[in-house]
């Protein structure tokens, strides 16, 4: 049932008054009674009096109406107002119901199909003296409409004179409609039901706001409501929560009255009929789960045998590698051990590094490769270059320094990793039950989780994440490019882990002048040595020059170099020392140029690895496949819903199939007992 609000009308003297408008969904399984609309019917207006008509939706759909089915009793809600008198207005002919004890219930007329307009009231006119106090001017009268089996208020009519300072409840929202929770420790019956309702108050001028919750009092007409607390309040709207014991599900009508402290006449009543049978219980979010009594008898009922305390889940998610402060302590030490270094680069740094490796300036190349004579080729120091589909620097802990290839300082600054493990938290998705019934779980509902970087789709068991949440944290090992996706539920339990590869290896190439440089320098050195020796030959003679030539040859010089050496030796015996030395220098330079004309080697390190990981969707997501239910109207009335609950038959209403019952104390014949047993198990309507 939904209280749509209050309709505002003008009285004979121009005073406004309101009538609550309540409507029940047409698809509602019929309760024994329910108010669909309360309004002022035009057909019943007389010139000097006001009448009120109440539409009753399918008032008792099967049985005769007990005489006390519904009572309508007027009462004034403000003590200073004159008493209300109600006079008969119509006769009781054509009443759909058999009889009434309420003397104020005077007539019934046929209305639309399935609807009866039964209650016609007439009030005496006027005489409502406005009360003035603290800014509130109120006159109101209420008529309580009480159901026979619950003694609960199921509706009310208000009459208010001008000015209406509080138009009372404008709407009521049950959000969520009904849920249950299990509270075994404080409630022996094991179950309580909990409702949340949003109530919206407003004033006629739209200006009045309650200063605090203290201005409002609450009272419940249902003694089974064990708790009522306000959870939100903004001055005009508040949200409250009620709890009531499970047996009241059977007669779950309730009403809560709100009154303004300073003037109790400012009041409104929110009524709620039924056990949410006012909607299709298989509509989303309206399911009421009622687990059967704990069974088995051998379980530990959640008690940890080690501690004797209620068992709780360990939050193993905090122990993930790379998870904040829980990083393995050995990892930074390995990263800083001096055996290797990981540099985090962006594309600019990689380009600078490539420029350094492929130096286009010969002098730079020579200077770079000169160090290779002592420390080896720079490319030999490169272990790997990995490409990642995300900005590594945003996650990594680093230390800025120049990129060093062994002892070769590239002069390029980059961020050296202090830890090779990083953690990417993809966030959390909250998951709630859609249907609120068994269809939300396996095998009816299927949940698949897509994980990026080569992992793909993996199944998720709905039981492990419903109702609750699912979170994905990916730990990446940057040195090798592998990753591990950890799937965590709302209890902090890692319910699945899946490996992937997010890094792609890129080969590193470079020019290498070092080998040629060695040849060139060796030749030049040999020449210089030969020249020096030749200069000394002015003293030592041709024999010494011959020896120089021999050393040149022994040094591995080319044929031309050996010839040059011989020429040096010859000139050494014929020319002054200074001239000979100059020629030696010229020859050495010529030899060096000859060595430089030989092209350098191109070296490479590594190769391309599989790049398919970067071709898929780059973030995780869920695909939830749910069944689409097909529920005819009145399903519960014709089939009933699975129960498996032990109950007294006197508590039951509506369609019932008994699973098991012992027919003790029945004064019937055996055949009658057998027939009764079969009928009760086959389905009866209470």
Partner 1 sequence: MTITLYQNLSEPNYVNKTLTNPIPITGTMRNESSVLNPVILIEAQSEGIVFSNYMLIDEWHRYYFISDIISVRQGLWEIHAHVDVLMTFKNQFMKLSGIVARQEFLYNLYLDDDKFLINAPRQVVTKAFPNRAVSNTLGGRGFVLTVAGGQTSQGALSTE
Least distance in angstroms from the C-beta of 386 to partner 1: 5
Q: Does 275 bind partner 1 (CB under 8 A)?
A: yes
Least distance in angstroms from the C-beta of 363 to partner 1: 19
Least distance in angstroms from the C-beta of 106 to partner 1: 24
Token look-up 């003035």 returns 132
Least distance in angstroms from the C-beta of 482 to partner 1: 13
Exposed, middle or buried: residue 567 (CB in 10 Å: 0-12, 13-18, 19+)?
A: middle
Considering only 426, 458, 583, 596, the residue that binds partner 1 (CB under 8 A) is 426
Q: Give whichever of 32 and 144 is closer to partner 1, judged by the CB atom.
A: 32
- Are the C-beta atoms of residues 1 and 272 closer than 8 Å to each other? yes
Least distance in angstroms from the C-beta of 67 to partner 1: 15
How many residues belong to the site for partner 1 (CB under 8 A)? 141
Strand partners, 456: 451
Least distance in angstroms from the C-beta of 435 to partner 1: 8
Using CB under 8 A as the binding rule, the residues of this chain from 242 to 271 that contact partner 1 are 249-250
CA distance readout (Å), 650 to 29, 250, 314, 647, 653 = 21, 10, 45, 8, 8
Part in contact with partner 1 (CB under 8 A); list of ranges 126-134, 136-144, 199-207, 389-397: 389-397
Cis before residue 176, ω within 30 degrees of 0? Answer: yes
| Gap between the Cα atoms of 101 and 70, Å rounded | 9
Q: Does 655 bind partner 1 (CB under 8 A)?
A: yes
| Gap between the Cα atoms of 281 and 536, Å rounded | 114
Q: Does 653 bind partner 1 (CB under 8 A)?
A: yes
Residue 454 backbone zone (phi > 0: left; psi -120 to 50: alpha; other: beta): left
Q: Give whichever of 599 and 632 is closer to partner 1, judged by the CB atom.
A: 632
Q: What are the backbone angles phi and psi of residue 354, rounded to the nearest 5°?
A: -65, -40
Strand stretches in 479-585, DSSP E: 482-489, 494-501, 504-505, 508-512
Least distance in angstroms from the C-beta of 628 to partner 1: 4
Using CB under 8 A as the binding rule, the residues of this chain from 488 to 507 that contact partner 1 are 503, 506
CA distance readout (Å), 337 to 198, 300, 322, 330, 603 = 63, 51, 19, 10, 27
Using CB under 8 A as the binding rule, the residues of this chain from 507 to 546 that contact partner 1 are none
Q: Does 382 bind partner 1 (CB under 8 A)?
A: yes
Part in contact with partner 1 (CB under 8 A); list of ranges 115-123, 584-592, 594-602, 648-656: 648-656
Using CB under 8 A as the binding rule, the residues of this chain from 427 to 456 that contact partner 1 are 427-429, 434, 436-439, 441, 444
DSSP-H helix ranges across 392-513: 462-465
Please enumerate in sequence order all residues whose Cβ is within 8 A of that of 143, keeping only pairs 6 or more positions apart, or say none. Answer: 52, 72, 73, 74, 75, 121, 156, 157
Q: Give whichever of 275 and 320 is closer to partner 1, judged by the CB atom.
A: 275
- Are the C-beta atoms of residues 245 and 192 closer than 8 Å to each other? yes
Please enumerate in sequence order all residues whose Cβ is within 8 A of that of 595, keeping only pairs 6 or more positions apart, or say none. Answer: 516, 519, 520, 523, 524
Using CB under 8 A as the binding rule, the residues of this chain from 194 to 223 that contact partner 1 are none
How many Å from the N-terminal Cα to the C-terminal Cα in the chain? 23
Using CB under 8 A as the binding rule, the residues of this chain from 304 to 363 that contact partner 1 are 333, 336-347, 349-350, 353
Q: Does 395 bind partner 1 (CB under 8 A)?
A: yes
CA contacts within 13 A on the Cβ side of 405: 24
Considering only 88, 176, 389, 468, the residue that binds partner 1 (CB under 8 A) is 389
Least distance in angstroms from the C-beta of 604 to partner 1: 15
Q: Give whichever of 322 and 620 is closer to partner 1, judged by the CB atom.
A: 620
Q: Give whichever of 457 and 563 is closer to partner 1, judged by the CB atom.
A: 457
Considering only 391, 432, 560, 601, the residue that binds partner 1 (CB under 8 A) is 391
Taking only Cα atoms into account, the Rg of the chain, rounded to an integer number of angstroms, comes to 47
Q: Does 401 bind partner 1 (CB under 8 A)?
A: yes
Q: Does 662 bind partner 1 (CB under 8 A)?
A: yes
Using CB under 8 A as the binding rule, the residues of this chain from 586 to 645 that contact partner 1 are 618-631, 636-637, 639-645
Q: Does 648 bind partner 1 (CB under 8 A)?
A: yes
Q: Does 63 bind partner 1 (CB under 8 A)?
A: yes
Least distance in angstroms from the C-beta of 26 to partner 1: 18
Considering only 59, 121, 417, 552, the residue that binds partner 1 (CB under 8 A) is 417
| Gap between the Cα atoms of 273 and 154, Å rounded | 6
């Amino acid at each position: 049932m939904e209280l749509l609000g209050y309709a505002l009308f003008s009285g004979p003297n121009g005073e406004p008054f309101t009538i609550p408008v309540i409507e029940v969904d047409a698809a509602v399984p019929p309760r024994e009674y329910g108010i669909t609309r309360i309004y002022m019917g035009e057909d019943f207006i007389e010139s000097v009096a006001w009448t009120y008509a109440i539409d009753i939706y399918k008032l008792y759909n099967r049985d005769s109406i007990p005489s006390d089915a519904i009572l309508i009793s007027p009462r004034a809600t403000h003590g200073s107002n004159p008493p209300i008198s109600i006079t008969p207005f119509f006769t009781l002919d054509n009443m759909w119901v058999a009889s009434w004890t309420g003397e104020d219930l005077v007539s019934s007329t046929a209305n639309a199909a399935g609807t009866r307009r039964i209650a016609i009231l007439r009030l005496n006119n006027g005489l409502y003296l406005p009360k003035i106090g603290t800014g509130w001017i109120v006159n109101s009268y209420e008529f309580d409409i009480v159901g026979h089996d619950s003694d609960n208020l199921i509706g009310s009519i208000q009459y208010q004179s001008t000015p209406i300072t509080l138009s009372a409840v404008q709407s009521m929202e049950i959000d969520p409609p009904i849920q249950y929770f299990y509270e075994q420790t404080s409630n022996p019956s094991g179950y309580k039901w909990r409702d949340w309702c949003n109530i919206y108050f407003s004033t006629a001028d739209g200006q009045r706001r309650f200063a605090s919750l203290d201005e409002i009092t609450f009272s419940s007409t249902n003694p089974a409501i064990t708790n009522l607390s306000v959870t939100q309040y903004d001055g005009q709207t508040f949200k409250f929560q009620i709890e009531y014991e499970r047996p009241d599900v059977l007669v779950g009508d309730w009403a809560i009255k709100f009154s303004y402290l300073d003037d109790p006449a400012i009041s409104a009543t929110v009524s709620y009929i039924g056990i949410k049978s006012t909607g299709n219980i298989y509509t989303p979010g309206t399911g009421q789960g009622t687990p059967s009594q704990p069974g088995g008898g051998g379980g530990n009922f959640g008690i940890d045998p080690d501690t004797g305390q209620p068992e709780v889940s360990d939050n193993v998610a905090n122990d993930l590698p790379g998870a904040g402060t829980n990083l393995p302590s050995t990892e930074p030490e390995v990263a800083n051990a001096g055996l290797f270094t990981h540099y985090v680069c962006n594309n600019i740094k990689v380009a600078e590094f490539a420029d350094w490796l492929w130096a286009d300036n010969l002098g730079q190349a020579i200077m770079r490769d000169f160090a290779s004579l002592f420390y080896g080729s720079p490319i030999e120091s490169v272990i790997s270059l990995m490409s990642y589909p995300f900005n590594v620097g945003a996650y990594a802990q680093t230390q800025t320094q120049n990129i060093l290839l062994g002892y070769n300082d590239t002069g390029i600054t980059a961020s050296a990793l202090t830890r090779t493990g990083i953690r990417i938290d993809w966030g959390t998705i909250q998951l709630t039950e859609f249907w609120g019934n068994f269809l939300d779980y396996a095998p009816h509902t299927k949940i698949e989780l897509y994980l990026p970087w080569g992992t793909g789709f993996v199944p998720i068991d709905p039981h492990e994440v419903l109702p609750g949440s699912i979170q994905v944290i990916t730990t990446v090992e940057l040195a090798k490019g592998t990753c591990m996706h950890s799937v965590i539920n709302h209890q902090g339990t890692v319910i699945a882990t899946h490996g992937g590869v997010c890094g792609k290896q890129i080969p590193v190439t470079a020019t290498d002048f070092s080998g040629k440089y060695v040849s060139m320098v060796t030749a030049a050195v040999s020449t210089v040595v030969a020249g020096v020796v030749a200069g000394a030959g002015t003293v030592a003679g041709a024999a010494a020059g011959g020896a120089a030539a021999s050393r040149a040859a022994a040094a591995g010089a080319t044929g031309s170099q050996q010839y040059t050496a011989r020429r040096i030796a010859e000139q050494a015996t014929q020319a002054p020392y200074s001239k000979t030395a100059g020629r030696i220098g010229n020859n050495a330079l010529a030899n060096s140029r000859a060595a430089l004309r030989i092209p350098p080697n191109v070296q490479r390190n590594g190769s391309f690895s599989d790049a398919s990981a970067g071709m898929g969707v780059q973030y995780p997501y869920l695909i939830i496949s749910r069944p689409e239910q097909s529920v005819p109207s009145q399903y519960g009335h014709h089939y009933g819903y699975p129960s498996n609950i032990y109950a007294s038959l006197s508590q039951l209403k509506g369609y019932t199939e008994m699973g098991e019952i012992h027919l003790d104390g029945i004064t019937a014949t055996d055949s009658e007992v057998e027939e009764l047993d079969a009928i009760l198990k086959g389905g009866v309507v209470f």
